[in-house]
Amino acid sequence: MRTIVFAFAAIILPLAPGCAPVETKTKLMTSAGSQIRSAGPGDVVMSFQSRKALPNIVGGADIWGRTTNAGGTTVRFVGARGSEAVFERTDVVVESNATTITESPMIIPQTTTTTINGTVGMTDVSGTAHSTSYQLIPPRGSSQYATAQRPIAITLGSGQSVTIQGRTLRVVSIAPNSLKYVIE
C-alpha cells in the first residue's frame, strides 16, 4: 500500500504546479451589441450565468475543463416610473461540493480465465481462454444549494447607463409600458 501511495505522489505532485487555479467565470447569456432592443414590464434585459471549474485532487482546476453551476445574475425591466425605467437585479449564488472525483465514473476491469481439459477419443485436449469485462460505476454525484441576494432596484433615465458584471446597460428611450435599450 505504501508503494502505491508513493507512486501516486511521484506521478501527481509534479503535475500540481501546472494546474490552473479554480476560478468562476461569468458569461452574458443575452445578446449584446449596438442593436437597439425593446422590452416590456417583466422582461429580462440581461442574464448572466456563472460556472466554476471543478476542483481536482490537488485543488487545481479540472484539466478537462469540466465546470459546475455557480449561479447567475438577472436584470429585469419592472416598468416605467415617470421618465425613469425601473429595473430589478437579482443575484443567485450556487454552492456545490462537486469535484472531479464526485463527478467521474469508475471503470473496473474484471479478467476471467477459463480452462478446459478433456479427451477426444484417445487424445488429451486442453484449452485456456482469457476474457476481460468492465463494470461501470456511475459518479456518486454531489449536492448544491442556491442562495439569492435581496433584489436591487436600479432606476435609469433616457441616455443613462449602468455597468453590471462588466457589461453596460444603456437606456435609449422610455415609454409608459416599454423600454428601448442597448447592451454594450
SS (H, E, C) 15-36: HHHHCCCCCEEEEECCCCCCCC
Number of domains comprising the chain: 1
- Provide mean pLDDT across the span 96-113: 90
Q: Looking at the domain assignment, is residue 86 inside a domain?
A: yes
Mean predicted confidence (pLDDT) in 170-180: 92
Q: Pick from 154, 161, 159, 158: which is nearest to 174 by CA?
A: 158
Confidence of residue 144 (pLDDT cuts 50, 70, 90): confident
- Locate 173 and state its grid cell: 428611450
- At 93 the pLDDT is 94
C-alpha cell at 53: 471549474
In-domain check, residue 164: no
Q: Which domain holds residue 94?
A: 17-31+42-113+128-157
In this structure, what C-alpha cell is assigned to residue 56? Answer: 481536482
Give the pLDDT mean for 80-104: 92
Whole-structure pTM over 0.85, yes or no?
no
Burial class (CB in 10 A: 0-12, 13-18, 19+), 162: middle
Residue 170 maps to a domain: no
Q: Is residue 152 part of a domain?
A: yes
Amino acid 85: pLDDT:
95
Asked whether residue 4 carries a pLDDT value surpassing 70, the answer given is no
Does residue 162 form part of some domain?
no
Domain presence at residue 36:
no
Is residue 16 over pLDDT 50? no
